[in-house]
Structure formats: structure tokens, C-alpha cells
Structure 1
Amino acid sequence: MSAVGNPILVVVLSLVAGLLVGGVWSSYQRGAPRAVTAVLALLAVMALLFAALTLLEVM
């Protein structure tokens, strides 16, 4: 079974991206090291991009 176009995967990835964006904002506000904030931001962008590509069935 292919995961491409799976609506459950899109929802889960969107939720993960939202949690990661919240983590980025929280770490930025409390003054965490820039590396931690950058890694969280990169993971959030990757999750959101993968969710969008899966939703559009491009992959």
C-alpha cells in the first residue's frame, strides 16, 4: 500500500508540523541556543513540505 495521498498521513504530518512550530516559538522565547531553534524550524518545514507534497500527490 502506497503512503502517497493517504489522508491520515497528511493529518499526522500537519499535526507534527504544528507541534514543531510551537516548539520553535517556545525555544525562541526562552532564549534557547540558535542551533536548537534552527533544527526545530528545519524539522517543522520538512514535515509541512512533506504533508503538502503528499496532499498534492506529487511524490
Structure 2
Amino acid sequence: MGAVLPVLLFALGGVLIGGAWSLHRQGAPRGALLIVGALALLATAGGVLYLVPGDG
């Protein structure tokens, strides 16, 4: 599962970014955009942080 998790997190972040863009184009409320955008940011940041070398 070593290199699979970051790829899945990046894929999830991309899907969520696309969903946020779609919501924006459809005129969704700002709260929905912020939630989906924050989830996309968290997923992408998780993928990046997983790839950062650490102690363990």
C-alpha cells in the first residue's frame, strides 16, 4: 500500500476540485463550495505529506 495511498489521495483531490468547479458553474451556495474545496485541499495535502520523507 506504500505508493498507492498518495495516488488515491491525489485522485480524490482532483475529483473534488472538479466537483467544486462544477458546483461553482451551477451557481451552488458558497458554503457548499467551501466545504468541497476544503476537502479537496485536505486530500491533496494528505497526498503530498504522505510523500514527504520522515523518521519512520
**TM > 0.5 fold call:** yes
Q: Structure 2 regions of 5+ residues with no counterpart?
A: none
The percentage of aligned residue pairs carrying the same residue is: 33
2:20 aligns with one of 21, 24, 29 = 24
Counterpart residue number, 1:54: 50
TM-score normalised by L of structure 2: 0.89
TM-score normalised by L of structure 1: 0.85
Runs (4+) of structure 1 exceeding 2 A deviation are: none
CA RMSD of aligned residues (A): 1.7
Q: Structure 1 regions of 5+ residues with no counterpart?
A: none
- Number of aligned residues: 55
